[in-house]
Amino acid sequence: MKKISIIGAGMTGSTAAHWLAERELADVVLVDVVEGMPQGKGLDLLEAMPIIGKDAQIVGTNDYADTKGSDIVIITAGVARKPGMSRDDLLTINAGIVGTAATETLKYSPDAFYIVLTNPLDTMAYLTLKKTGLPRERVIGQAGILDSARMRAFVALETGVSVENIQCYVLGGHGDEMVPLTRHSNIAGIPLRDYIPADKLEAIVNRTRKGGGEIVNLLKTGSAYYAPSAAVTQMAEAILKDKKLIVPCAAYMQGEYGLNDMYFGVPVVLGAGGMEKIVEYKFDADEKAMFEKSAASVKETHEALKKLVNI
């Protein structure tokens, strides 16, 4: 069995463990700083396995040594922004947490692939790349699958069509300026623009952009975790099974789309080599403008990170 370590056994981390174990994709190690909590969640999930007839091992721990020999490391550890905390404060705190998670796990799993979920996502993936010194193929950020899935869900709600027929592609930074590509998105091959009235489509795009905030406003005490953890599970599966799956992920840019030295949401090929390739779409003028606006905003967060943290 393959081995996946999840750093941060909070809502996203433990739900990812649930999806992974349920699909028997790997044995799972849940790591957290809180004593007892990862052990308790790990044991509870392990005890569910006989009921659903799956043989995955799940263990919770506070000790990075237990992550030894992981094929994939998923980083969800971090704190959420609290009232009174500036974006820079959040950036500094989460950079400390993610930096430690990255370097500690690398000691025990020098061959692992890294999937980063902690926000601000694009910069935390960048930090992981720099802290580990790994090639870009092995450090990927999760965001685009989630944003695209939200758009797919809203299209399904609007049209009543199966989610399986609905393909949506949302690129760019994981924030309000994300880039939903309505021209490339379709229902059973029919462009969304031909299927859904323009005003309805615009409403779907707006709801997608604010999708994270919508959940936060409803939950009040946290952010989304079912869909983000399902997204990371799809990424892990694509790598473990060498699926060559094309999905939007945050990838380290080396000239693609005219961007350099930053993480950004673009379509990538996921397979046994990790982030094997960045796929380049042809944009029209409107799409290019949206893409560049989002890139400028993500670049700013990268610069803020570089000022706050020594990388």
- Please spell the DSSP secondary structure of 20-48, one letter per residue: HHHTT--EEEEE-SSSSHHHHHHHHHHHH
Assigned token pair, 208: 């997608």
In whole angstroms, the minimum distance from the beta carbon of 116 to ligand APR comes to: 9
Q: Are 192 and 185 in contact (CB under 8 A)?
A: yes
Comparing every residue's Cβ against ligand APR, the nearest one is 10
Q: Name which of 121 and 196 has its Cβ closer to ligand APR.
A: 121
Q: 304 CB contacts (<8 Å, ≥6 apart)?
A: 87, 88, 91, 123
Interacting residues with ligand APR (CB under 6 A):
7-13, 31-34, 76-78, 80, 97, 100-101, 117-119, 222-223, 225, 228
The distance of closest approach from Cβ of residue 229 to ligand APR in the complex, given in angstroms and rounded to an integer, is 8
Q: How far is the CB of 240 from ligand APR (least distance, A)?
A: 21
Indicate the residue among 195 and 225 with the shorter CB distance to ligand APR.
Answer: 225
14-48 CB burial, b ≥16 within 10 A, e <16: bbbbbbbbeeebbbbbbbbeeeebbbebbeebbee
Nearer CB in complex with ligand APR: 8/172: 8
Let me know: does 271 contact 242? Beta carbons within 8 Å: yes
Can you list the positions of beta strands (E) in the chain? 3-7, 27-31, 58-61, 72-75, 113-116, 139-141, 166-167, 170-171, 179-180, 186-187, 190-191, 245-254, 260-271, 274-278
Q: Least distance to ligand APR from the beta carbon of 100, Å? A: 6
H/E element, 260: strand 260-271
Q: Which is nearer to ligand APR, 27 or 32 (CB)?
A: 32
Helices (H) and strands (E) in the chain, counts: 10, 14
Residues involved in catalysis: 174
Nearer to ligand APR by C-beta: 13 or 248?
A: 13
Residues forming a β-bridge with 30: 6, 60
CB of 105 to ligand APR, least distance (A): 10
